[in-house]
Chains A and B, each alone.
Chain A
Amino acid sequence: DAGITQSPRYKITETGRQVTLMCHQTWSHSYMFWYRQDLGHGLRLIYYSAAADITDKGEVPDGYVVSRSKTENFPLTLESATRSQTSVYFCASNPRDRAYEQYFGPGTRLTVT
């Protein structure tokens, strides 16, 4: 199906475990973003990418790692999950020529116990 998908949709993991959240888009958009959404903080940018192999930190990058070997995929890895990383994670993308309107995936609800 066309669009932007995230997997898994729900994940429960334990403190200290490594977790990877997947994001896949079928539009060949250049730009991709990872946000976390927490009550009282709105959406905060974790990492973003302008193209394959080009990534940069956002507002809250600590504890996260990203890669982008292919344009359509932008996985987010929590190297050693902490309870403070319990959140809803959203992936988004936008094409270079659409004045920065972003298209969001459905989100992944992550619980770290």
Chain B
Amino acid sequence: SQQGEEDPQALSIQEGENATMNCSYKTSINNLQWYRQNSGRGLVHLILIRSNEREKHSGRLRVTLDTSKKSSSLLITASRAADTASYFCAVLHAGGTSYGKLTFGQGTILTVHP
């Protein structure tokens, strides 16, 4: 079954507002990653947070990780129309192989209205 479960499935906001997406998973992880996918394109890596980290920032992105609740949040501040995309969380299982296999969630579709 899918490890990363995302919430909400779709989010519609106005430009300038903040967007928050949540991801939950079931088993222990090595790290959790967030990817963006623009329509008709491949996924692009945004940010990675390790299991021993609680918060990470990259530009307008802020990711938090709560391993006790097995959940993560991605916050996009001051959103822009160009942020319109699908966002996926992906987990790397703890104690797994060294192949770097990721398990992806079903994604959150973010629409930012100008």
Residue ranges of A at the interface with B (Cβ–Cβ < 8 Å): 31, 33, 35, 40-45, 48, 50, 56, 58-59, 90, 92, 94, 99-107
B82 lies within 8 A of chain A by Cβ:
no
Within 8 A of A (CB), among B74-110: 88, 90, 92, 98-107
Determine whether the beta carbon of B106 is less than 8 Å from that of A102.
no
B71 lies within 8 A of chain A by Cβ:
no
B69 lies within 8 A of chain A by Cβ:
no
Q: How many residues of B contact A (CB 8 A)?
A: 27
By secondary structure, the A interface counts as: strand
Determine whether the beta carbon of A104 is less than 8 Å from that of B42.
yes
Tell me the nearest residue of chain A to B43, going by C-beta: A104
By secondary structure, the B interface counts as: strand
B88 contact from A43, A48, A94, A105, Cβ within 8 A:
A43
Determine whether the beta carbon of A58 is less than 8 Å from that of B101.
yes
Instruction: Tell me, in angstroms, the Cα distance from A103 to B48 when the chains sit together.
Output: 13
Interface centre among A35, A42, A50 (most CB of B within 10 A): A42
Tell me the nearest residue of chain A to B100, going by C-beta: A100
Determine whether the beta carbon of B99 is less than 8 Å from that of A31.
yes
Determine whether the beta carbon of B44 is less than 8 Å from that of A104.
yes
